Structure 1
């Protein structure tokens, strides 16, 4: 190759490297100079048509019976090596060991990291990225994996359409403390500022997930932060995970997006992206609409007790009716005469009621 041609190629290579470096050095945020509304100006894929998160409208989802339960691989096999927890200015991240992965998808996916999104404790009660029928949760956990069957590492996979798989777990608050999340929250004070990192004891990652891994929403989307690559197979679980109000408060008030030496301290809050348009995409569900209604143990108990009481009451009424019919018959006076038959309609009502009671009781037992 002649010298001018080589010079041009070298210039182009330097230009590409400089462009890549400048993109990496862009300091984006959720609000401010390069906030969400400006992301697409600096990261073009953030303006794509398959962005995340989304609002899942359950009446518009499509049941796919081929969707099998998600299978965490090695999540509980944490070993003796500590995990790395750090503050990257946008969230708290735990690096996951490479022997952890995810099954139940078309390919094998290897775990990379997990992180959280939350709000500010204000009256708007926002915090999660995905919403269900327009309703937000208090926070959201993401567990990120890359397609290790097709790609050698996370960097190569994250730009490909089938490169990543992310689990989305919606988090709500209640009275009880969630011990699984304490494995993270108890160490946040050690990474209060951007750039800080700490080793924490390894723990069972599956303790952060809902118990029911078979009911979820599945769609093709993107990373929810720049560069917003549209490479994610999303699995958003139907079941929420609960933490205590004190745990949520700790998440919302401990971390800063500023460095320790910065004169102006900026709390790390509201680190969630607003929902994006579906744009003709379909959200699939692993469960049918008939199974969408879940009964609590209290509701089941109330129904069983109600059915039993109904059966007892019906038996008393039947006994009373039979006794009344016998007392008004001539059976005791004329022993040679058979008692008048029970009216067919009344007999039909009684027998049908008894059958219904027996069937209902068996169903709930």
Structure 2
């Protein structure tokens, strides 16, 4: 090979190395050249067989009676030190103090941070990461913990099996304002641009969670963002949390994925990963399907109408029975069927009088006989 060919070869190798280095340093996004469909090219774990999020098909889950309710540790003991709110260009992150943790798992897990995933306010609701039977919620909250019994920090734990534990809370919209979420949403204007941070008043983190912490789905998965390490114990709560439509709209429209100095502004929206294949994993539930069957609004309406109709029908039947009983047992309403009482006669008195007459007659005749006898005896 001549010197020119060697020079060209070295130039190509240098170019390829620089391109690979630039690709590894490139900030990942949810769409675009380093979007989620290309994550596995730069972050190999993102192409693994135990990725998150997933679609939970409830008919394919397995009930595990050994799964106990989770116990938040120190969630409501926020102290006086403020929390840090951070826009990292991918989501809004709330850093949590180290005294917060999670019980109810095989190991003790220490809280690290929590963050949100949401959509773009459009008509297509596909804004949560996890889905239930193919249906998406409007947003999703994740609370991240690391295994503090086995590892010294999250950097060491996140690469290991069972190193992390993440709580997933599905969020839906309604008419009522969720005051707990205002502890976060009210301060988003302070971190509108990527890489901005702000201190916010500490608050009760447990108020963000659903009331029922004993009903959930459990499976082994991964981080839902690069580097997608597959050492996460996932707990997705069955009960969803509700915020108002105005609160969701604020979350969807106030933050930017771009920095303050960037000329092109880009809203931070649709920051959710599509569901990943379940492969051979099993999704366990802490509740049985019979005891926790979720009724649709149509089923609830049908049950209410059925109960009301049943009550009305029962009232009509009872009234008819009572009316029938009264009509057949009242002597004042219908003619009596009893035989008329037989009027008393004077026969017994007449017989008695005749008997007395006989006695009197016999007595008179006896007296007459005695008188006759006496008269005969006194005759000379």
Instruction: Please give the alpha-carbon distance, in whole angstroms, between the structure 2 residues aligned to 1:257 and 1:119.
Output: 13
| Aligned residue among 331, 338, 343 for 1:333 | 338
- The superposition leaves residues 213-262 of structure 1 with CA deviations (integer Å, 9 ceiling, x where unpaired) of 11111111000000000111111111111111111111011111111011
Measured in 2, the distance between the counterparts of 1:104 and 1:48 equals 28
**TM-score (normalizing by structure 1):** 0.80
Structure 1 segment 172-321 matched on structure 2, within 5 A: 172-294=172-294, 309=312, 311-321=314-324
The offset of 1:286, in angstroms, is 1.0
Looking at structure 1, the residues matched to 253 and 89 of structure 2 have their Cα atoms a distance apart, in angstroms, of 14
Q: Give the distance between the partners of 1:236 and 1:311, measured in 2 at CA.
A: 44
Superposed, 1:10-21 pairs within 5 Å as: none
Cα distance in 2, alignment partners of residues 169 and 145 from structure 1: 14
CA distance in 1, matches of 2:328, 2:22: 95
Q: Which residue of 1 aligns with 2:101?
A: 101
TM-score norm. by structure 2 comes to 0.77
The 1:333/1:28 distance shift into structure 2, 3 A limit, reads same
- Name the CA distance, whole Å, in 1 between partners of 2:335 and 2:23: 101
SS of the residue corresponding to residue 37 of structure 1 reads helix
Deviates more, 1:286-295 or 1:74-83: 286-295
Gaps of 5+ in 2: 1-17, 341-380
**Alignment RMSD (CA, Å):** 2.7
**Alpha-carbon distance between aligned partners in 2 of 1:256 and 1:185, rounded to the nearest angstrom:** 14
Q: Tell me, in whole angstroms, the C-alpha distance in 1 between the residues paired with 2:180 and 2:172.
A: 14
Q: Which moved more, 1:113-122 or 1:280-289?
A: 280-289
Matched, 1:68 2:50: no
Alignment partner of 1:167: what SS? strand
Q: How many residues are matched?
A: 316
Change (3 A) 1:313 1:294: farther
State the alpha-carbon separation in 2 of the partners of residues 331 and 26 from structure 1. Answer: 104
Deviation of residue 159 (structure 1)? Answer: 0.8
> Which residue number in structure 2 is paired with residue 35 of structure 1?
35
The 2-side partners of 1:331 and 1:153 are apart by 96
Task: Classify 1:101/1:320 alpha carbon distance in 2 versus 1 (closer, same or farther; 3 Å).
Answer: same
Give the equivalent residue in structure 2 for 1:169: 169
The change in CA–CA distance for 1:331 and 1:225 in structure 2 (over 3 A counts) is farther
Q: Secondary structure of the equivalent of 2:321?
A: helix
Which range moves more in the overlay, 160-169 or 303-312? 303-312
The 1-side partners of 2:50 and 2:328 are apart by: 73
Higher-Rg structure is 2
Change (3 A) 1:311 1:88: same
Deviation at residue 26 of structure 1 after TM alignment: 3.4
Alpha-carbon offset, residue 320 of structure 1: 3.6
Deviation at 1:25, TM superposition (A): 3.3
